[in-house]
Structure 1
Amino acid sequence: MIPTTPMTPMTPLPLSVVDAEEITTLDDSTAPTTPDGSSSFSPNLRPQDDSSYRSVNSLSTAPFGAAAAAPAVRNVCCVGAGFVGGPTAAVIALHNPHICVTVVDRDEKRIRRWNSKHPPIYEPGLNDILRIARDGSRGCVFNDGPTNHGGSDAIRCETVSPDDRGGRCEGQKRASINSVAARLPNLVFTTDVAKCVSEADVVLIAVNTPTKRRGNGAGSATDMAAFEAVTALVAQHASPGAIIVEKSTVPCRTAQLVQDTLALYRPGVHFEVLSNPEFLAAGTAINDLLHADRILIGSNNTASGNRAAAALASVYASWIPAARIITTNLFSSELAKLVANSMLAQRISSINSIAAVCDATGADVDEVARAVGADPRIGSKFLKAGIGFGGSCLKKDVLSLAYLAETLVLPEVARYWLAVVEMNEFARNRLVSRVLQCLNNTLAGKKVTVLGFAFKKDTNDTRESPALDIIRALEKEGPEEIAVYDPLCTPTQMAEEIGHFAGPGVLRSNGGPVAVYADAYAACQGSDAVLITTEFDEFKNRPVEADGGAGNLEELPPNQNSALDAEDHLSRLNPIPLCDKDCPECQREHLNASTVSYYGTGNDDEHARKARLDWTRIYYHMKRPHWVLDGRGVLDIATMEHVGFRVESVGRRSRLTKSSSPGNHKCW
């Protein structure tokens, strides 16, 4: 296992590795700079004359006038090893091999998993990046020119003679010779918070900020306990002049709290505070980081504030075009994050409200969404009707925005945004009501299967998952069994979370009806109704679409020493860190080896996990009349009905109901 001690700053890699086209010098900027001896100039951020130094000398979207010269960043520390901190730090390290990136968290179990082959979160492409940035890689030479037989054979040449510049090998025709230098690891996960913070030029605060559950503002205000604790810790240990960055989603004007805390613990010591909110979606986080549509940086409109913003921008500029790096003032950046998520949630609730109208009138929500989305002023994204949004962000941020409006004595604004959350809950409740109506208003003696436990596909994140509310509501109806299956969540994880959310008494192991499965077919066997609550591709009955993966990771240029090769055809990856003998994840894999489980087929083999379910097989092992309730709109209804299923889908009319009068259908 990789040691959990912070790395010392690494020697910058050669210019060819860092991409010379983006490198500029201080002379390229005419913006005022902070004198070397001032309290606002960090000794860790003094300009360097080596070839890996970068600066952002032109931010066209910056509102502050002349751009600021960017000091060199050598060491980045991310406090918080969760869904935001881990992937963000990994991609920063991948694209900045000259920067030492440390991720710190006091949760020893979580850090241990980050340092193993069992990361605590699943994101497509994340493991590939960890193999390069965390473990390092060996140098290699390969050919990439035309071949007689194409494919990956072009990289099979292990040695190239200096006299054979044509690169003839195994049937190749004049292939060009390329080399990728060895790379030292520059991403470290550790529990030594104080040491890593003290060595960092830039400190990212990426801790959880959930909704308060008790006290003033419970149910809507943001719980800032963890954020405040980390801010106090950073204030005590940060190096003078370090840049402190809000990465967590926080209420507007939190930057003032950070500045006040820094002044309280370190009077007379200057720090710059920036806001750099994340815009990541679970399941596509790596793609969102690699191909970000914008990087938002908020700072104070001062010379030192502009320099701090430019320093952080230079980190992102190693792979993000400068035109996508937007600078604002601190409070605008904080508020923009809340507004962005709230408007996305608003669109989902809006289309779900229209889905209810479609059910009552006989219209098809997909056709309505297609027609409305064709308007360029509206667009087609986030107009997919279903059972509502989940996850840790959308609901929390809508509630936070509503609470902010209340504190500003804007009750009309607060009510407007609270209605978005109410419509989301309405969408979840409708599905449970339809299940009851389809099954003659009783679940006694019946089995219901829930396919999908994570709140969205391609993630094992279950926070605010609609499935949790649906399972709890179904359990109250007294069914014989509620079977739960998810391609990425393990049975142990699902059982723990269901027990925590609905009470341990609901689990089959404690005499309750809820049973978790590692196999989808076993979960569906003997079921009276199957509910699809997560839009996993595995549940579709359409042909397999082209999988874009995590943003075409293989297209990363070799000259940045970051080309990824998941199957390691180039033999450049170092061995995966070994786990301790008592590793619980390895023990769980061993116990599940005899079953078709996530750890047996999915975690290390995404292609196997993408296999579609055989719905014909499911049909022959279900009870009549073979009800399937598609809460995510992933099924082709006509194909399912051809097999013999009776299908109900949110806002979509099945063939069996097209001749019925609007609003009179039994289930809708």
Structure 2
Amino acid sequence: MTDVSSPRPLTLSVIGVGYLGAVHAAAMAELGHRVIGLDVDADRVAALSEGRSPFHEPGFDELLLRNVRSGRLTFTTDYAKLTDVDVHFLALGTPQRADGLGADLSYIESALDALVPLLEARDGKPTLIAGKSTVPVGTARGLHARITAIDGVALAWNPEFLREGFAVEDTLRPDRLVYGVADQGNASTEISLLDTVYAELIGLEIPRKVYNFESAELVKVSANSFLATKISFINAISELCDVTGADVNDVAEAIGMDDRIGAKFLRAGIGFGGGCLPKDIRGLLSRAGELGSVDSFAFLRDIDAINTGRREYVVRLAKRLLDGTLDGKRVAVLGAAFKPDTDDVRDSPALDIALKLYSEGAKVSITDPAANENVRRRYPSFHVEDSVEETLRDAELVLLLTEWKEYRELDPASVRDLVATAQIIDGRNALDLSAWRAAGWQVEALGRP
């Protein structure tokens, strides 16, 4: 076993330097390793090579630039640059397939196709492929079968647990490390190399668990599906609150005091989005069906339906506040990213609601502190403003759909005169209702009287 008290720096590759991969690559360089990030997107590689982040993530810009300048972190589009690497991390996307609910594994398969000739040329020198991507259970076992004949090459599955907006912290100070291996009784190469990679973290007594492939694969998707279930549960309760006069915040506060439940992920609102939770619950449902367990996971369809239904719920509420029609009405939307502290608009509830309002004829102005350029690229016909003031000007209805700090801290009195009608939907239960109502606003907060 590696002596983690005095580790040697390794040479690592991170294949796929999108959101997950770029953060992982920079963090591994910060731990002292030499890291080569590879991606087929030449523009992304060029930006990262110059120390410029292609996405918004607190703390990442400084981490990236520091390690590029140190020379420990480089980027390339050429697999030939990966000939002398100890550990290859696979951090490729596994999006939902266009023809179903399952995960598209083509990016991982292509990467392995490109890696195999390089691995065969190393003449038995110990090399590890470590999967970071979220994959259907059984994937690693299948990939392992492709490389078992290559002398000296091992495979591990090492799922990530980072949260967008906290990705740097979650990578450099994770709450656990999980290694999935083919044979827990015969995994000295996999464990030794990963322990060397993460020696500094293990030295901080961060828990490290070694499981089989299948358990490691299920950890990440199970965690995301459980969190999605909590979110959809409290959102379903909020609908009962709306029709009975109960306050969902009171209900959430009280049930969150039960240590069997916990308070996190019990904030009612417009639901979850992003590149992980929606995809992962659908992927788990799909894989369960393939394995003959679909009935036990049918509840995930309801979780997904509750979540997407929240978006329609807000559209109906907006229509009611605007006298039954959205056609020609001026609507201001605060927030486009799926959560604050990111520019990620993948499956964003905020953006989806804005698009639904637009499709029913509303004149929508939208703004976001970080995601405006992503919105403009995806929807060039959309009216995107760079300032809150211009977004609110002459609006007949305001919707707060992403709970950025600057929106939570708006002075309701100072923005009252910007709008034509002072009414707002608090889609994230983020506002001080008494302060806004005292300033003359009609506030509709989901699940609150």
Query: TM-score, normalising length from structure 2?
Result: 0.95
In structure 2, what is the equivalent of residue 284 of structure 1?
Answer: 166
Decide which of 30, 44, 52 is 1:118's aligned counterpart.
52
Decide which of 188, 197, 210 is 2:74's aligned counterpart.
188
The alpha-carbon distance between structure 1 residues 518 and 118, as it changes in their structure 2 partners (threshold 3 A), is: farther
Offset of residue 270 of structure 1 = 3.9
* Residue correspondence of structure 1 range 512-531 to structure 2 within 5 A: 514-531=382-399
Counterpart of 1:648 in structure 2: which amino acid? Answer: E
* Residue correspondence of structure 1 range 212-611 to structure 2 within 5 A: 212-214=97-99, 218=100, 220-238=101-119, 239=122, 240=124, 241-263=126-148, 267-301=149-183, 305-320=187-202, 321-479=204-362, 481-490=363-372, 492-499=373-380, 507=381, 514-541=382-409
Counterpart of 2:361 in structure 1: which amino acid? Answer: G
Decide which of 424, 427, 443 is 1:647's aligned counterpart.
443
The CA distance in 1 between the partners of 2:182 and 2:374, in whole Å, is 43
Counterpart of 1:621 in structure 2: which amino acid? Answer: L
The CA distance in 1 between the partners of 2:200 and 2:328, in whole Å, is 60
Counterpart contact for 2:53–2:64, Cα < 8 Å:
no
The alpha-carbon distance between structure 1 residues 103 and 229, as it changes in their structure 2 partners (threshold 3 A), is: same
The CA distance in 2 between the partners of 1:223 and 1:268, in whole Å, is 26
Between Structure 1 and Structure 2, which shows a larger proportion of helix residues? 2
Q: Is 1:629 the equivalent of 2:428?
A: no
Counterpart contact for 1:540–1:635, Cα < 8 Å:
yes
Deviations 1:557-599 (A, max 9, x none): xxxxxxxxxxxxxxxxxxxxxxxxxxxxxxxxxxxxxxxxxxx
Deviations 1:115-143 (A, max 9, x none): 2353111111111212322212xxxxxxx
Counterpart of 1:361 in structure 2: which amino acid? Answer: T
Q: Is 1:55 the equivalent of 2:3?
A: yes
Counterpart contact for 2:94–2:103, Cα < 8 Å:
yes
Offset of residue 330 of structure 1 = 1.3
Aligned length in residues: 444
Counterpart of 2:30 in structure 1: which amino acid? Answer: L
- Structure 2, unpaired ranges of 5+: none
The CA distance in 2 between the partners of 1:521 and 1:323, in whole Å, is 45
Counterpart contact for 1:206–1:248, Cα < 8 Å:
yes
Counterpart contact for 1:79–1:206, Cα < 8 Å:
yes
Larger RCO (CA under 8 A, 6+ residues apart): 1
The alpha-carbon distance between structure 1 residues 642 and 302, as it changes in their structure 2 partners (threshold 3 A), is: closer
In structure 1, what is the equivalent of residue 416 of structure 2?
Answer: 619
The CA distance in 1 between the partners of 2:184 and 2:352, in whole Å, is 48
SS at match of 1:199: coil
The CA distance in 2 between the partners of 1:208 and 1:135, in whole Å, is 27
Offset of residue 302 of structure 1 = 5.5
* Residue correspondence of structure 1 range 200-211 to structure 2 within 5 A: 200-211=85-96
SS at match of 1:639: helix
Counterpart of 1:55 in structure 2: which amino acid? Answer: D
Counterpart contact for 1:385–1:651, Cα < 8 Å:
yes
In structure 2, what is the equivalent of residue 51 of structure 1?
Answer: none
The alpha-carbon distance between structure 1 residues 306 and 358, as it changes in their structure 2 partners (threshold 3 A), is: farther
Counterpart contact for 2:147–2:154, Cα < 8 Å:
no
The CA distance in 2 between the partners of 1:409 and 1:641, in whole Å, is 53
The CA distance in 2 between the partners of 1:301 and 1:456, in whole Å, is 39
* Residue correspondence of structure 1 range 7-18 to structure 2 within 5 A: none
Deviations 1:185-210 (A, max 9, x none): 311122222322x2110000001100
Counterpart of 1:249 in structure 2: which amino acid? Answer: T
Offset of residue 256 of structure 1 = 1.9
Offset of residue 416 of structure 1 = 1.4
Offset of residue 102 of structure 1 = 1.1
SS at match of 2:317: helix
Deviations 1:459-508 (A, max 9, x none): 011111112321221122212x1001000123x42122235xxxxxxx1x
Offset of residue 82 of structure 1 = 0.7
In structure 2, what is the equivalent of residue 80 of structure 1?
Answer: 16
The CA distance in 2 between the partners of 1:322 and 1:445, in whole Å, is 59
The CA distance in 2 between the partners of 1:341 and 1:262, in whole Å, is 30
Offset of residue 262 of structure 1 = 2.5
The CA distance in 1 between the partners of 2:185 and 2:239, in whole Å, is 54
The CA distance in 1 between the partners of 2:143 and 2:34, in whole Å, is 25
In structure 1, what is the equivalent of residue 65 of structure 2?
Answer: 131
Counterpart contact for 1:338–1:398, Cα < 8 Å:
yes
The alpha-carbon distance between structure 1 residues 73 and 201, as it changes in their structure 2 partners (threshold 3 A), is: farther
The CA distance in 1 between the partners of 2:146 and 2:9, in whole Å, is 24
The CA distance in 2 between the partners of 1:419 and 1:212, in whole Å, is 20
The CA distance in 1 between the partners of 2:212 and 2:184, in whole Å, is 10
The alpha-carbon distance between structure 1 residues 651 and 250, as it changes in their structure 2 partners (threshold 3 A), is: same
Counterpart contact for 2:340–2:402, Cα < 8 Å:
yes
The alpha-carbon distance between structure 1 residues 482 and 268, as it changes in their structure 2 partners (threshold 3 A), is: closer
Counterpart contact for 2:52–2:61, Cα < 8 Å:
no
Offset of residue 231 of structure 1 = 1.4
The CA distance in 2 between the partners of 1:189 and 1:388, in whole Å, is 36
Counterpart contact for 2:51–2:64, Cα < 8 Å:
no
SS at match of 2:200: coil
The CA distance in 2 between the partners of 1:433 and 1:367, in whole Å, is 25
In structure 2, what is the equivalent of residue 663 of structure 1?
Answer: none
Counterpart of 2:102 in structure 1: which amino acid? Answer: A
SS at match of 2:406: helix
In structure 2, what is the equivalent of residue 638 of structure 1?
Answer: 434
In structure 2, what is the equivalent of residue 147 of structure 1?
Answer: none
In structure 1, what is the equivalent of residue 26 of structure 2?
Answer: 90
Q: Identity of aligned pairs, percent?
A: 34
The CA distance in 2 between the partners of 1:103 and 1:489, in whole Å, is 25
The CA distance in 2 between the partners of 1:81 and 1:445, in whole Å, is 43
- Structure 1, unpaired ranges of 5+: 1-28, 30-53, 58-69, 137-184, 500-506, 508-513, 542-612, 654-668
Between Structure 1 and Structure 2, whose CA radius of gyration is higher?
1
Counterpart contact for 2:256–2:263, Cα < 8 Å:
yes
Counterpart contact for 2:15–2:37, Cα < 8 Å:
yes
Offset of residue 345 of structure 1 = 0.7
Offset of residue 56 of structure 1 = 4.6
Counterpart contact for 1:300–1:306, Cα < 8 Å:
no
